[in-house]
Chain A
Amino acid sequence: MEQAYAQALMQLIEGGMQPKKALHALVESLKVKGREALLPRIARAFERLAQREMHKNAVVMSVAKEKDVHAGKRDAKELLETIGAESKDVEVRIDEDLIGGWRLEGRGMLVDRSFKKALLQMYNRATA
């Protein structure tokens, strides 16, 4: 049930209602029905929903070193256009395990041009 309330709250906010006002309306509605006890669970469900929405839109580029960011963004320009993202929307993360290259993940897409993946592929093919 908390899931349904959280989704309703999300829809109200996405529909243009002020978050504070939407929350107030929800609390009032719960009071009328005697379901205030659900509020903490609704809050957790809403948090999960919000995280899910954020993840849907987030675009993350992982690189092994800071200096690879520019080259990575240049290489991924075409792909970013495909998924409707701009260079400034990209969140950069440093992941030394990638060894080199870059990895772009977001909006349901993944492109992995890291050295780690290339080396793994070579290893698997050579030892198969």
Chain B
Amino acid sequence: MDNSVVEKIIKEIEQYKPSGEHAHVGLVVSVGDGVVAIDGLAKAVMSEILVFEETKGKKLADSIETRGELYGLILNLEEDGVRAAILGDTARVVEGMTVKSTGRVLSVPAGEELLGRVVNALGEPQDGKGPFKKTTMMPVERQASGVIDRKGVSVPLATGITAIDAMIPIGRGQRELLIGDRATGKTTIAVDTIINQLNEPEEKRPICIYVAVGQKQSKTARIAQQLREAGAMDYTIIVDEPASAPAALQYLAPFAGVAMGEYFMDKGKDVLIIYDDLSKQAVAYRELSLLLRRPPGREAYPGDIFYLHSRLLERACRLNEEKGGGSITALPIIETQEGDVSAYIPTNVISITDGQIFLVTDLFNKGVRPAIDVGISVSRVGSSAQTKAMKAVAGGLKLELAQFRDLEAFTQFAQDLDKVTADQLASGARMIELLKQKNGAPIPMEKQVAMLYGASLKLFSEVPVARVREAATKFVDFVDAQYKKVLAEIKKTAQLSDDSKKQLAKATEEFRLAHTDLFAAK
């Protein structure tokens, strides 16, 4: 054994005093599927943490080998005992085991040390980088900030995705739902939003928390790798409870994530939290509730399923200056089945959030990515947070695109089209191309503004539809190379001044002359 350990043990022996502490205990009467029924614990409180006494009846050597303490979380207070969820391996709990109450409600470690790390719902490191040294414990269940402590949403949270920043803007402190069928790009939008925060100055950059609930571990590992490669892990925490984790931990993961976020919000910082996804959390909670013998309701979900999501999402807010001015922006994700947004959980979360971005399989398969259905996507509070520069160039964009979609569907059966309709369709098709974006390549706000301003000057109306994306990229690169000052000014002031407009108009003319190949034929 290491000498320092021996010295520590000697010191411990010298300082040893028998403790007179007594604990309230109960006895495990039944256990199964991650839920345990305990007799006794008359003084237990709701959401209290319990410790299972695994060392009873074991030899000292065997007790030393026990892998950390095993905790439980009280979820039901009953006449003769309690029912609790096991926060770990169910196989470690046996009938007749003594359970100690701790008098503590569930809390997780939070702090700067967690940045760049992957943790589980209990805040335990999952990335093999060792334990945390100095953290603050934050309660997993906390009352959301009151009305008096809050402030309206007015600061933008740029996603770097032009279609969103222009048409469905998100503000800091907002809750914007990402909803759609499987494989429609919901997680991609969330991850790109995290990566885009690199474009923010460090002092304004939000802390990002990605909560993976019931996901494949390979997917979470890939996201962690992508964030690491982009340099975004430095300001990101990943809370991971994979599909193989017990239902209790999957249910707790979003609450653990927001508790970690509240630490930073209380310090006046901005936080972006992504819950990927809340439909899987709802399924985990349903499983847990049925095992706890709570009465099932619609689709067998318990009666408090709405409260589960509302109390979680209410914790996203923007605090006023007296409270430090911090914020938590939430991007919950909901997976729909066959595009059915009227199902139970989707309608619940739609009604709780401040808007939704609806992603459609058809568009995705057509190559429109991000596959946003502009018609039913909305941001209820984000427009007040949109920069003036973006407002100036994206004013009628949403309406134009929605009209294009309607017209496109209608004209599928038409033979002859009048010129106005044909022009509108051509313009819409170009706009769709313009808003297409590769994943992992967010665009800074000033470049988005320059690109959309170019479009408003009909720069791309003479470019063949198939080459619009190429033309837009080249135009942005051209402005970045030749008109750096204009971009810097837009970034600094978040406004599009008359002078900037003139400069950009000049840039479009120069670009047209320099790239005649793009404008040669329609």
Residues of A in contact with B (beta carbons under 8 Å apart): 48, 52, 55-56, 79, 95, 97, 99, 101, 105, 108-111, 113, 116-120, 122-123, 125-127
Contact = CB atoms under 8 A, between A and B. Distances in A.
Interface string B38-72: 01111100000000000101111001100000000
B41 A97 contact: no
A108 B22 CA distance: 10
Nearest to A99: B60
Contacts of A55: 27, 39
Contacts of A122: 9, 12-13, 16
Contacts of B22: 79, 109-111
Nearest to B20: A111
B299 interface: no
A68 B496 CA distance: 85
Contacts of B8: 125-127
A80 to B, nearest CB: 11
A116 B5 contact: no
Contacts of B19: 113
A108 B42 contact: yes
B21 interface: yes
B63 A108 contact: no
B261 interface: no
Interface in B17-34: 18-27, 29
A56 B25 contact: no
Nearest to A111: B22
Nearest to A113: B18
B58 A97 contact: yes
Contacts of B29: 48, 52
Given A56-B40, A97-B58, A108-B25, A126 B12 contact: yes
Given A110-B98, A116-B60, A126 B9 contact: yes
A105 B25 contact: yes
Nearest to A107: B40
B406 interface: no
Contacts of A118: 16, 18
Contacts of A95: 57
Nearest to A103: B56
A38 B59 CA distance: 43
Interface string B301-324: 000000000000000000000000
B202 interface: no
Contacts of B58: 97
Contacts of B98: 105, 110
A52 B80 contact: yes
Nearest to A128: B131
Given A113-B18, A116-B60, A125-B12, A108 B26 contact: yes
Contacts of B43: 108
B59 A97 contact: yes
Contact of A97 (B5, B20, B27, B60): B60
B25 A120 contact: no
Contacts of B63: 116, 120
Nearest to A98: B60
A120 B18 contact: no
B100 interface: yes
Contacts of B18: 101, 113, 118
A117 B60 CA distance: 9
Contacts of B60: 97, 99, 116, 119-120
A108 B5 CA distance: 36
A122 to B, nearest CB: 4
A59 to B, nearest CB: 12
A96 B63 CA distance: 14
B3 to A, nearest CB: 12
Rank and list the top 4 A-B pairs by shortest CB-CB distance, nearest first: A126-B8, A122-B12, A110-B25, A111-B22
A111 B64 contact: no
Nearest to A115: B60
Contact of B23 (A52, A97, A109, A125): A109
Contacts of B100: 110
Contacts of B25: 105, 108-110
Contact of A52 (B16, B24, B39, B59): B39
Contacts of B64: 120, 123
Contacts of B40: 56, 108
Nearest to A125: B12
B124 to A, nearest CB: 14
